[in-house]
């Protein structure tokens, strides 16, 4: 299932239709397929789907109280508090910072005869960016222990055996979380006193509708969750993107030409809207490889869907990866074809919820614009420095769940452009 989520669920849909019941131990699960299901579950007009109850089961002990683990009024309050850190002036400041960081980070990708394992390199890069932009760590500050703690926490959130026993991955994750909590507590007084532009300092100064600031523990919980929400998803998208640009060199050239056409040595915030080919390439990559292939909720009341009665307390799962490949909504869906998003075709507009890499409704990804900006900032510098490829006939082996990634690290051949 992890390797070929799409194959498994497409077969279920073809055999049984848009509603499929499934038993997983004591948990009752219902799979709902297609864009209508995505709309019903994500928009949740009836207020009957809990994000908290589903995500808490999956990651609640490692990433408690993150935004996605909140429902209703509590979620609305916290989302408003965090939103300031994602508005345009804030994004502009992050972009300036990213531009400075990326130059040194992208150096040396052509070393070792140009043989580069892309996934670990991208992962290290996005984690470094997150440490500086989210946490306000200084350039060059040693964050190795923090990185290790974070990695352990993320791995534990996917663990099957969830027991706090020495030697188990889950236990290492709990310890990783504790390390992060202690570290962030230590940094808190300095961030509270600072007017810096990192997320950490911004959260320290955020005030809710009721005039209440976030408590120390709330700030720490939000930061730890954000690191997780941002890091693996952006790493996954960038890796898939580099792969598709390697096997579709004509698109790599189009992105390069577009970037050169901007005529600027540094990417400015306004340039982000002047990159339509790059935007289409990103959209198509997220269609083919949505980092989150599934989105779960728990029903809090019984409801009717496509003629079936679905009880309360059921894990209701929708599948962006399947919706993104339905022949009913996409032409030649397994083909990498960014033009399908461009004016004149706009296949994604055929249904409001046939394209949902960032989810939708109240819990729609808060970091959407941040993610797109970061991907464009990386591409902007990368395509001007390097050309990259894979050997003829190479196909990236993908593990599609829980977060899409290549199982071989994606070996690339990198060549410097002089």
Confirm or reject binding of residue 136 to ligand HEM (CB under 6 A): no
Helix (H) or strand (E) holding 297: strand 295-299
| CB closer to ligand HEM out of 43 and 247 | 43
| CB closer to ligand HEM out of 133 and 171 | 133
Q: How far is the CB of 61 from ligand HEM (least distance, A)?
A: 18
CA separation for the pair 326, 345 (Å, rounded): 17
Q: Where does this chain touch ligand HEM (CB under 6 A) — which range of 182-190, 210-218, 288-296, 309-317?
A: 288-296
Pick from 6, 31, 20, 63: which is nearest to 315 by CA?
31
Confirm or reject binding of residue 298 to ligand HEM (CB under 6 A): no
Confirm or reject binding of residue 295 to ligand HEM (CB under 6 A): yes
Residue whose entry in the numeric block shows the structure tokens 């993107």:
241
Q: How does DSSP classify residue 330?
A: S
Identified binder of ligand HEM from the candidate list 35, 136, 173, 367, rule CB under 6 A: 367
Pick from 200, 194, 197: which is nearest to 227 by CA?
200
Q: How far is the CB of 134 from ligand HEM (least distance, A)?
A: 7
Q: Where does this chain touch ligand HEM (CB under 6 A) — which range of 209-217, 310-318, 355-363, 387-395?
A: 355-363
347: phi then psi, degrees, rounded to nearest 5: -60, -25
> Which residues 237-256 are close enough to bind ligand HEM by CB under 6 A?
237
Q: Which residues, listed in sequence order, are joined to residue 146 by a DSSP beta bridge?
A: none
Q: How far is the CB of 211 from ligand HEM (least distance, A)?
A: 22
Measured from each CB, the residue nearest to ligand HEM is 367
328: phi then psi, degrees, rounded to nearest 5: -65, -25
User: Are 203 and 82 spatial neighbours (Cβ–Cβ below 8 Å)?
Assistant: yes
- Residue 28: strand, helix, or coil: strand
Pick from 138, 157, 198: which is nearest to 370 by CA?
198
Question: CB-based burial of residue 47 (10 Å sphere; 0-12 exposed, 13-18 middle, 19+ buried)?
Answer: exposed
Identified binder of ligand HEM from the candidate list 48, 219, 314, 366, rule CB under 6 A: 366
Q: How does DSSP classify residue 182?
A: H
Q: How far is the CB of 150 from ligand HEM (least distance, A)?
A: 14
> Which residues 68-97 are close enough to bind ligand HEM by CB under 6 A?
68, 79
| CB closer to ligand HEM out of 110 and 321 | 321
Confirm or reject binding of residue 202 to ligand HEM (CB under 6 A): no
Confirm or reject binding of residue 318 to ligand HEM (CB under 6 A): no
Confirm or reject binding of residue 34 to ligand HEM (CB under 6 A): no
Q: Which residues, listed in sequence order, are joined to residue 345 by a DSSP beta bridge?
A: none
Q: Where does this chain touch ligand HEM (CB under 6 A) — which range of 109-117, 241-249, 364-372, 394-402?
A: 364-372
- Residue 52: strand, helix, or coil: helix
User: Are 336 and 17 spatial neighbours (Cβ–Cβ below 8 Å)?
Assistant: no
Confirm or reject binding of residue 371 to ligand HEM (CB under 6 A): yes
Identified binder of ligand HEM from the candidate list 226, 245, 259, 280, rule CB under 6 A: 226
Q: How far is the CB of 9 from ligand HEM (least distance, A)?
A: 16
Question: CB-based burial of residue 269 (10 Å sphere; 0-12 exposed, 13-18 middle, 19+ buried)?
Answer: middle
CA separation for the pair 369, 106 (Å, rounded): 22
Q: Where does this chain touch ligand HEM (CB under 6 A) — which range of 90-98, 212-220, 351-359, 399-407?
A: 351-359
The number of beta carbons lying within 10 Å of the beta carbon of residue 75 is: 17
Size of the site for ligand HEM (CB under 6 A): 23
Q: How far is the CB of 370 from ligand HEM (least distance, A)?
A: 4
Report the interface residues with ligand HEM, using CB under 6 A.
51, 67-68, 79, 226, 229-230, 233-234, 237, 286, 291-292, 295, 357-359, 363, 365-367, 370-371
């Amino acid at each position: 299932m992890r390797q070929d989520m799409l194959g498994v669920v497409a077969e279920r849909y073809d055999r049984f239709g848009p509603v499929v019941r499934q038993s997983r131990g004591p948990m009752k699960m219902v799979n709902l397929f297609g864009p209508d299901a995505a709309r019903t579950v994500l928009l949740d007009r009836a207020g009957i789907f809990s994000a908290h109850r589903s995500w808490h089961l999956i990651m609640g002990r490692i990433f408690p109280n993150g935004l996605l683990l909140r429902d209703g009024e509590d979620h609305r309050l916290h989302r408003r508090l965090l939103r300031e850190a994602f508005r345009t002036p804030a994004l502009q400041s992050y972009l300036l910072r990213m531009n400075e960081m990326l130059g040194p980070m992208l150096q040396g990708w052509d070393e070792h005869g140009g043989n580069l394992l892309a996934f670990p390199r991208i992962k290290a890069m996005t984690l470094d960016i997150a440490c500086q932009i989210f946490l306000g760590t200084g350039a060059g500050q040693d964050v190795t222990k923090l990185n290790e703690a974070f990695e352990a926490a993320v791995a534990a959130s996917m663990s099957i055996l969830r027991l706090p026993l020495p030697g188990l991955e889950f236990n290492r994750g709990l310890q990783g979380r504790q390390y992060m909590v202690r570290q962030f507590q230590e940094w808190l007084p300095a961030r509270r006193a600072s007017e810096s532009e990192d997320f950490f300092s911004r959260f320290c100064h955020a005030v809710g509708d009721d005039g209440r600031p976030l408590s120390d523990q709330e700030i720490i919980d939000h930061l730890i969750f954000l690191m997780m929400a941002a890091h693996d998803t952006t790493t996954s998208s960038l890796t898939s993107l580099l792969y598709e640009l390697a096997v579709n060199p004509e698109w790599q050239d189009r992105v390069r030409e577009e970037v050169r056409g901007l005529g600027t040595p540094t990417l400015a915030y306004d340039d982000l809207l002047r990159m339509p080919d790059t935007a289409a390439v990103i959209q198509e990559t997220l269609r083919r490889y949505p980092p989150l292939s599934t989105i779960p909720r728990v029903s809090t009341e019984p409801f009717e869907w496509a003629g079936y009665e679905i009880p309360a307390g059921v894990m209701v799962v929708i599948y962006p990866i399947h919706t993104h490949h339905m022949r009913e909504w996409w032409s030649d869906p397994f083909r990498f074809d960014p033009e399908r998003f461009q004016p004149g075709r706009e296949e994604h507009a055929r249904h409001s919820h046939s394209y949902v890499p960032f989810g939708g409704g109240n819990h729609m990804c808060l970091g959407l614009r941040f993610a797109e900006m970061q991907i464009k900032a990386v591409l902007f510098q990368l395509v001007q420095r390097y050309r990259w490829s894979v050997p003829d006939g190479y196909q990236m082996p993908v593990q599609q769940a829980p977060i899409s990634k290549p199982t071989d690290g994606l070996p690339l051949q990198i060549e410097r452009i002089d």
